Amino acid sequence: MKRRGKEKKPPSGRGRQTRFARLLGIAFCVAGFTAIALGWAGAARKTCVDCQIPYLISGGAAGIALVVFGAAMLVMAQIRSEARRFSARLEHMNHAFTPDVAATTVGTPNGKAPMGHPQEQAVPASTPTAPDPPGPEPTSWWER
């Protein structure tokens, strides 16, 4: 039986690291909420308020620390993922706006723009450009 559509390949390289960081962050958050719940359940079994405090402090402190650490891992994984996407977009834009040497019209045999780009103007290959003339010399010490 053939499947339709593309099959997803497991991520490799940095994608695998991001996925692992997300799974680990979720695991730390779940462990933190579990520690809070266990601390709460331990405190609920005690009738003495002084006996409840160690359960709440240990379960609550450890649970909050695990939740914060897990959330930080999730945020860092998202930042890395977005940075990678942004880098890929910039690279794509760089390739899109960088003139291709083969697509330029300089030195084409007929001096016309290549097919598919009628709005481009042909530039003759032998147009010398003169350097800009130097500006006036600064007259005072703060203009130097």
- Reading the chain (144 residues) residue by residue, the pLDDT tens digits are 555 656 666 566 777 888 899 999 999 999 999 999 999 998 888 888 888 888 888 888 999 999 999 999 999 999 998 888 888 888 888 887 776 655 555 555 555 555 555 555 555 555 556 566 665 665 555 544
Report the 10 Å Cβ neighbour count for 82: 10
Please give the span between the terminal C-alpha atoms of the chain, in angstroms, as a whole number. Answer: 79
Q: What is the pLDDT of residue 91?
A: 87
Tell me the H-state helices in the chain. 14-44, 49-97
Neighbours of 77 (CB within 10 A): 20
pLDDT of residue 50: 87
Find the helix or strand (DSSP H, E) in which 112 lies.
none
Residue 39 main-chain phi, psi, to 5 deg: -65, -40
The structure tokens 């083969």 sit at 102
124 burial type by CB count under 10 A (0-12 exposed, 13-18 middle, 19+ buried): exposed
Q: Does pTM top 0.75 for this prediction?
A: no
Q: Does the CA dihedral 87-92-96-98 come out positive or negative?
A: positive
